[in-house]
Amino acid sequence: MGEALKPVPVPLGQVPEVAALLTRLGLGALRQDAVSAFFGRNDTWAGVTDTGMPVFVKRTLGEAGQVRRMVGRTRAMGVALDGHPVIHTPRFLGGDDDMGLLAFTLLEEARSGVDLAEDGDFTWDLAHAAGTQVGTLHDLPAPEAVAADDSAPPMPPRDRLAALTLEEYTAAGGAELETWAILHDDPVVTRAIDDLCERERRGPRVLAHGDLRLDQLLHHDGVLYLTDWEEARLADAARDVGAFAGEWLYRGVLGMAGPDDGLNDREVIAAGARRFEELRPYVEAFWTGYLEARPAARDDHELPVRAVAFAGWHLIDRIMVTAHQRGRLSALQRAVAGVGRTALLRPADLTATLGLGEGR
């Protein structure tokens, strides 16, 4: 990967609260010339402090109450998972609830799941390890702050499935509006999404990560870490399983053609399905690890079905995120949304296709 493009961290002088947090935690100080940042939605600062502590600080974004809950959930998960024998996560060092700051041990030179997948270095063993950790997580008792948090997960956006507010409409870009239009013109799919959320609300819930994407996995010194507990909640186990499967399905559909290759939807889907055949072992390995860690999940016969539906939602979610950066949706992105729709509408037919079949 090219080294040329490195994001520039927000100067520490402009965010005195970062130094204040590190001082309060007794971690020393970060020197501006020794700090770097990561690409992502959030402002981040990474470096080794003058007392020799490798730290990673991020500032979460959102409305004040939301930010406070994110910090609260992260803190609770950090405490619950500190030193856990199976679930690995960068050590939570402390946070600032009002400023939305979170500090963790920096995993120096770590590679994310996305980097590994892009370089062909994501192994089946890593997928299995991810499944073991997530299965173990789903059997843990939820820490108080997570159990007490009954705020709705931000995704799927139940309150925007029928229409956007005028404010949301005017703030959205072209491709985002196209994505919303795909949903708003399709009451069958929005009903399927809403049903999935309603079943989650009424059904059995576990301690879930809530935002399990490949870029939330970090590989460091031979150990796989799960990061970003901001959306941890009591939720349907299928959310996490489906997100992991959805990540690979997304890569399958996207990876087979260059954007706007001039293929029609049917060709894109057929080729995407073929390419996904190569990726399915990652989901199978995850599912094997998951069931080994959490054998009781076998009794929840509908779990793989709901997971396929969540994987379908995940594809639409990914399109929304990329739409944010574009003027128009490409034909390929529309095809991805089409595959997502199929998974949402016919999940029971696709469990084995997605690698979540029985007998593992």
Ligand X SMILES: Nc1ncnc2c1ncn2[C@@H]1O[C@H](COP(=O)(O)OP(=O)(O)OP(=O)(O)O)[C@@H](O)[C@H]1O
Identified binder of ligand X from the candidate list 21, 45, 56, 95, rule CB under 6 A: 56
Scan for tokens 């029928």, then name that residue. Answer: 162
CB-neighbour burial class of residue 292 (10 A; exposed 0-12, middle 13-18, buried 19+): middle
Q: Which residues ranging from 18 to 47 are in contact with Mg ion (CB under 5 A)?
A: none
Helix (H/G/I), strand (E/B), else coil: 94: strand
Scan for tokens 């063993």, then name that residue. Answer: 125
Q: Which is nearer to ligand X, 57 or 257 (CB)?
A: 57
List the x/- string, 200-239, binding to ligand X by CB under 6 A. Answer: ---------------x--x--------xx-----------
Largest CA distance in the chain: 59
Encoding tokens for residue 352?
A: 């084995």
CB of 232 to ligand X, least distance (A): 12
Q: Which is nearer to ligand X, 10 or 345 (CB)?
A: 10
Bridge-partner residues for 96, per DSSP? 101
What does the alpha-carbon distance between residue 199 and residue 205 come to, in Å, rounded to a whole number?
A: 10
What does the alpha-carbon distance between residue 39 and residue 146 come to, in Å, rounded to a whole number?
A: 28
The backbone torsions φ and ψ at residue 136, rounded to the nearest 5 degrees and listed phi first, read -65, -45
| In contact, 89 and 225? CB cutoff 8 Å | yes
Nearest to 246 by CA among 294, 198, 283: 283
Q: Which is nearer to ligand X, 222 or 359 (CB)?
A: 222
What does the alpha-carbon distance between residue 84 and residue 229 come to, in Å, rounded to a whole number?
A: 15
CB of 100 to ligand X, least distance (A): 11
Sole window of 33-41, 184-192, 283-291, 306-314 interacting with ligand X (rule: CB under 6 A): 33-41
Q: Which residues ranging from 229 to 258 are in contact with Mg ion (CB under 5 A)?
A: none
Helix (H/G/I), strand (E/B), else coil: 42: coil
Comparing every residue's Cβ against ligand X, the nearest one is 40
Q: Which is nearer to ligand X, 151 or 165 (CB)?
A: 151
List the x/- string, 190-229, binding to Mg ion by CB under 5 A. Answer: --------------------------x-----------x-
Considering CB distances under 5 to 8 angstroms, the limit depending on partner class, which of Mg ion, ligand X, none binds residue 330? none
Encoding tokens for residue 134?
A: 């997530």
Q: Which residues ranging from 92 to 121 are in contact with ligand X (CB under 6 A)?
A: 104, 106-107, 110, 112
Binding-site ranges for ligand X (CB under 6 A): 38, 40-42, 44, 56, 58, 90, 104, 106-107, 110, 112, 215, 218, 227-228
- The site for Mg ion (CB under 5 A) is made up of 216, 228
